Chains A and B, each alone.
Chain A
Amino acid sequence: MKKILLVIIMLPSMAFAQTVPTFEQVLSLRGAGSPVVSPDGKLVLYNVTTTDWNDNRYDTELWISRDGGKPSQLTNTAKGNSSNAAFSPDGQWIAFLADRGSKTQIHVMRTEGGEARAVTKEEEPISAFEWHPSGNSFIFLKPEKEDKVRKEVEKRYGAFETDDKEFTQSHLWQIDFVGDQLDPSELPCYESVDSLRIKTGCIMWPKAKKLTNGKFTVTGFITSPDGTKVAYSHQPDPLINSSVHADISIVELTTAKSTVLVDQPGPDGLEDWSPDSKELLYTSSAGDTSSYYYLNNKLFSLRIADKSSRRLAADFDENIGGLKWTLSGIYFAAWNKTRRPLMKLDAATGKTSVFLQTPEQIFGFSVSKSGDQMAFAGRNGDQLNEIFVTTTTNPKPQPITRMTEQTTNWKVAQSEVISWKSKDGAVIEGVLHKPANYDPKKKYPLLVVIHGGPTGIDTPTPVPVYVYPIVQWLNKGCLVLRPNYRGSAGYGEKFRSLNVKNLGVGDAWDVLSGVDYLDKQGLIDKSKMGCMGWSQGGYISAFLTTTSDAFKAISVGAGISDWMTYYVSTDIHPFTRQYLKSTPWSDEGMYKKSSPMTYINQAKTPTLIQHGEFDRRVPISNAYQLLQGLRDKGVKAELVVYKGFGHGITKPKERLAATWHNWQWFNKYVWGEQVELPVGTK
């Protein structure tokens, strides 16, 4: 039965002459996400991201589908993005954020047709907004004005910055929305020069009213469905490590009076209002301030009337978030191993259950006002992300996008989820990719690609993208293993804690045991293996460079070389303290055990190091440390610095470069082929 199904599925794709996509083609794949369903459930807005090679950027614009029909592009922001789409409560208007030349503003267009216009003229860029339930105003978030003193100081003394002391707080504002607002430029008001000296017919932009004040920054907000108040999360300042102090307050819209609701130690996160505006969902570390990087957060419902909280979803062993409390119930999507079902939470019992598990992975979702209609982004393991619509009463998801068709003529990656036992007996899963024309009789070279996080996860996908040309390598003739090593998301709190005080060491076990497993299956040629990864995956790759000689080549992307170097110079100091349960000064041995540099004298593997010039998460000192160590030991090593980038390579041209650099490195050291970087225009 299964076999027949497979044949049927294969047939249509066999009909096409299939080709290996170019790197540019892979990096040019359009992506769909962030669906928003209209209040009446008939329309779905979503984001489509395309690659703009001319301006070297990714462009996100809004698309719309009506009654499940063929979608069409809705917005067109030149040299900028259109995002954060939101229907007005009556469905007549679509609001979104875009920077069209004068900072990011709220723009509004009629649902029935016509272009958008800016309805705010704020001097600071708006970062988030919501329609007030009345439809007559917006609640929005924007940073405070730039400090004038700061400018004066720079004028006289030049540029300097005191660490952790300089930041801009963001606060909540409310502004009226006037549907037929004319641009005041088009009907000027001659208050001072009108020969009639009568101020008439003057039109003005609505002026925003400030809702929150004080020495804190607002990080998120949700307006109560009854329109009387706004719940917001806040922390003392926007510095990344201040999230441990994140609390939740509420502001009354009529009085702009704020009241603190949740202020436990450790991060507290805002989730959603109950439809009757009487309860508020929030997540919390429940007072924990030393393990929240890897322990499950906890979900609570707070009764506004008496501020009492009750625990929900206690039966759910994963991090929880992105909950939506609708008239048909509370929904959330969460990892369950390599699948991501949509879950439903019973508000009364606090119990969770699977609501929808097809497609295999469900991401962002949106529910209509009645709670009956739903749109979500999701995919099966052999698909690109699609936008689906379904009823919630009798869920039968129907895709409204055809994003996967972009790869119709491509030889894409075949994926299967495999599992093996690691050195300590822990069961590890991973995604094994095989080429389209896989020959089971052959032993293939193996490339291991390791995700970051460590709380990331790899899942089956036809075209894995970032800076590793996985599809091209597969078609060149190899297998690719992407292990969900200990600490990965999706396998429960215990698994996520397995790397505590054991970073690197345990991770290396998981990778090498996976390689051994494949070897035992007779799938791979152990003499031709490479390993690579970015961030935590770069760290594990670096650890394998200095602790193993299993690989012919390794690529370390934005990886950690030395936990002491990392700890003192990163922007997230608590991360290291939580995983290593120490500081370098309290337990230097712990830091040594987990650091690739500790084992530099044993390093043999030719290593490519890739790093963003201004990476604050994993500062570039880590790259130079590994580079110099390898050079001193006479191990082949190269460092490529991507100019202007932080922790990620976020632009298409440099992604293309980083892809080529990996292609060259592994082709040389795994396959023994010299590849020149092509120059000139195609």
Chain B
Amino acid sequence: MKKILFILLLLPGLLGAQTKRPIVASDLMKIITTAGTQISPDGSKAVTVVVRKAVKNDNEYYYTRHLYLLDLMGTAAPVQLTFGDKNDGQPAWSPDGKHIAFVRADGEKSQIWLLPMNGGEAHAITKEEYGARGPVWSPDGKRILFSASIPFYAISGKTPWTYERPGRTQGDEPNFKNMKADEKKKMTTSPDGSLEEVRAWLAKNMSESNPRVLLRQNLQGELNLQPDEEFSHLFIKTVGSDEKAVQITSGFQNFNGAEWSADGKTILCQSRAYKLHPDRERDNDLWTIDVDSKTAKEFLTMPGYSVNNPGYSPDGTQILFYAVPNQNRHATQVQLAVVSATGGKPTVLTATFDRDVSNAIWSADSKSIYFAAQTDGDIPLYSIPAKGGTISKLIGNDSGVNDFDMRGDKIVYSLTETKNPWELYLFNIKDKSNRALTQFNESWMKDRQVSAPKEYWITRPDGSKVQYWVQEPVGKKDGMKYPTILNIHGGPAAMWGPGIFSMWHEYQLENSWGYGLVYCNPRGSGGYGDKFKKGNFKDWGNGPASDILSALDDAVSKNSWIDKDQLVVEGGSYAGYMVAWLVGHDNRFKAANAQRGVYDLTTFLGEGNAWNLVHNDFGGFPWDKEIRPLLDSESPYTYVDKINTPLLIIHGDQDLRTGVIQSEMLYKSLKIMNKPVEYIRYPKEGHELTRSGNPGRMMDHMLRVIEFFERYVKHPEPPPATLK
């Protein structure tokens, strides 16, 4: 009897072992995501951008972004609308549903294209010198509002702020970048002439970025230096006319998040009349632009808040917007607010919600607002009455709503969960029906074995609660112990959990390679409220480190299969900092991997575009007497001589969010001390390599980390990912 039972129990397992295969590195190429989903005006269809990874000629990796049409009425399979190696995005239905406007990068600059929905190929409707993005149809469907970034040199007039070139005045040299070839020829420039001619000669060299002359505070972009400021301006293109689009905003000012009023006479957007250089002013107000006269004026300022992305309610009476407190920026959370369409005093709706809200959309009856917010490792979809009140959760348990659109009773949303990294679903708020619209990942995931996260909470001595998860290695057998990875997130205000897409494949791959996995959200993480987010103020090191190690200790105590003698640790960005901090203070790890990290906080101020973190999170600058010692004591580099753990350091060549110099400092110091260290540099990559970098290098990155750990751990049996 017992024997039979045993056989019965084993059978499904055996079958599973035969049919279900582990996730492998190249599955990365199969993961499909979507973006910019828009439901058609009649609610019968939706368009979405399908993002695929692709490779040709053996190792030329790239992404494709194509529009797909989804059937919301029947069950027809998604239909691909656009093709080729071009990148298509930001689809927008015309009010009559007969066209989709979208942005296509085909050639140098992105332009607005129009795809007829009654058959036929798309064609470009803009030919903007500086590109075009963000198409918004006018309510009557005759015009399209869009944005373009105009460089500083192409804007005439004087800056409203004091021009920041020492000893020089704006416009005191030829503006070569804004000249045509024959105009340039007419200019007198000489290295040997008068000071004016020499200045003209220097200006000409500068105009060819040889050299780059940097005058602004935010000199670093993501991949390259950005000497030229750009200003986002609004344009209106009349559909079906050959006439050039009309620019409706101008000057040294940014206009973003624009929307039409119902009568098509007014544009509502966010902007700010700069009194200081825009690098020094980080906030926005709400503005309106009269379409006919092109006059822009302030519509709403909200003391204590930066406000953005306004949206009219369908009945046109109210305006929804995001309000971000501008005090205590270290821990601000994005709030939802509404104001009457005629102006007046705004109401903050989510003051007691204590989470960051995102993706807010009006309901069809203008009575509710639907939005998403990171919470406890998930990204649920919520609704709140427009006049304020109880927030209800609609979707999101151990899952994350990445992107959604709503029309009438229908919500189309993309969801990440452990069993499927990304799929689109249709939810009906009336009858609560829910069905999958796509099988983009389901189609290849069917026969894959995934490891489910187990959720834990620990209470810290200060009473704060820290959430963490444990994932077992694939094929785990009772009684055996497994090497385990402590994986740490960056930010530091990011949040990890079962609903977060970015780590889905890496987690599963590490489990397939026979590793257990522990990850947590230590103090400073988002998704747990204002106080928790603030928890790492002036304390990037010890406080969060003890949360992380306590979670690890707790995990080991509750999961006997974790081999505490075979622990390794990895993390990127702030977590690169944390990995270096941990191995500078603790020798328990067999190997460690620090990616794109910050190791010296004073240097961070200069090397990266994320430099605001230094004064936001530490309350001052290196030249402040009381701050400098704090920055030193909080810098992992201060403890570099204590590092004994074999360390793999990784950085992207063009990462200007956290520059490479600190990785080099850490590497060279360890090298001089003859410590076990290896340094990897990825060409052409910035800070986002592991999330949106070249897919080939993403695979390389994951496997390089695993391969490094493999040098220092022993598996009880060959990991499933390596089995033939």
Q: Which residues of A contact B (CB under 8 A)?
A: 64, 66, 72-76, 78, 100, 109-117, 180, 183, 185-188, 190, 193-198, 201
Contact = CB atoms under 8 A, between A and B. Distances in A.
B81 A190 contact: no
Contact of A114 (B25, B56, B82, B123): B82
Given A187-B29, A195-B25, A115 B81 contact: yes
Which 10 residue pairs of A and B lie closest in terms of their CB atoms, listed nearest first? A117-B83, A114-B81, A74-B120, A185-B54, A76-B121, A186-B52, A186-B54, A185-B56, A188-B55, A190-B26
Contacts of B705: none
B69 interface: yes
Nearest to B24: A195
Given A75-B120, A185-B55, A115 B83 contact: yes
Interface string B699-724: 00000000000000000000001101
Contact of A116 (B53, B77, B83, B724): B83
Contacts of B64: 183, 185-186
Contact of B115 (A115, A117, A185, A190): A115
Given A75-B121, A113-B81, A115-B121, A195 B721 contact: yes
Contacts of B80: 114, 117
Contacts of B119: 64, 66, 72, 74, 109-113
B84 interface: yes
Candidate in B21, B64, B121, B122 with the most chain A CB atoms within 10 angstroms: B121
Nearest to A114: B81
Nearest to B721: A195
Contacts of B29: 187-188
B139 interface: no
B352 interface: no
B643 to A, nearest CB: 32
Given A114-B80, A185-B55, A76 B26 contact: no
A72 B80 CA distance: 21
Contacts of A78: 106
Given A186-B64, A188-B54, A113 B120 contact: yes
Contacts of A115: 81-84, 115, 121-122
Contacts of A66: 118-119
A518 B53 CA distance: 73
A195 B26 CA distance: 8
Interface in B44-82: 52-56, 64, 69, 77, 79-82
Given A74-B120, A115-B122, A185-B64, 18 more contacts: A72-B116, A76-B120, A100-B84, A111-B119, A113-B81, A113-B120, A114-B79, A114-B80, A115-B84, A116-B121, A117-B84, A180-B77, A183-B54, A183-B83, A188-B55, A195-B25, A196-B724, A201-B444
A183 B53 CA distance: 11
Contacts of A193: 26
Chain B contact residues, majority secondary structure = mixed
B30 interface: yes
Contacts of A116: 83, 121
Contacts of B77: 180
B24 A196 contact: yes
B715 to A, nearest CB: 15
Contacts of A196: 21, 24, 724
B716 to A, nearest CB: 19
Contacts of B722: 195
Contacts of A194: 24, 26
Contacts of B106: 78
B273 interface: no
Contacts of B118: 66, 72, 113
Interface in B107-121: 115-121
A185 B52 CA distance: 10
10 contacts: A64-B119, A72-B118, A74-B121, A76-B123, A113-B115, A115-B122, A180-B77, A185-B64, A193-B26, A201-B30
Contact of A64 (B30, B52, B53, B120): B120
A664 to B, nearest CB: 30
A113 B117 contact: yes
Contact of A187 (B24, B30, B69, B122): B30
Contacts of B30: 187, 201
B64 to A, nearest CB: 6
Interface string B176-197: 0000000000000000000000
A109 B121 contact: yes
Nearest to A198: B21
Interface string B15-27: 0000001001110
Contacts of A190: 26
Contacts of B54: 183, 185-186, 188
A112 B118 CA distance: 6
Contact of A197 (B84, B117, B724): B724
B594 to A, nearest CB: 26
Nearest to B118: A113
Nearest to B512: A195
Nearest to A74: B120
Contacts of B115: 113-115
Contacts of A76: 120-123
B720 to A, nearest CB: 10
Contact of B79 (A110, A187, A188): A110
A75 B121 CA distance: 5
Contacts of A100: 84
Nearest to B62: A185
Contacts of B121: 73-76, 109, 115-116
A478 to B, nearest CB: 35
Interface string B111-154: 00001111111110000000000000000000000000000000
A198 B724 CA distance: 8
Given A73-B123, A201-B444, A114 B69 contact: yes
Contacts of B26: 188, 190, 193-195
A187 B30 CA distance: 6
A69 to B, nearest CB: 10
Contacts of B81: 113-115
Nearest to B119: A113
B21 A72 contact: no
Contacts of B84: 100, 115, 117
Contacts of A201: 30, 444
Contacts of B55: 185, 188
Contacts of B116: 72, 113
B69 A113 contact: yes
A197 B24 CA distance: 11
Contacts of B56: 185
A185 B60 CA distance: 10
A331 to B, nearest CB: 27
Contacts of A186: 52-54, 64
Candidate in A64, A186, A196 with the most chain B CB atoms within 10 angstroms: A186
Nearest to B719: A195
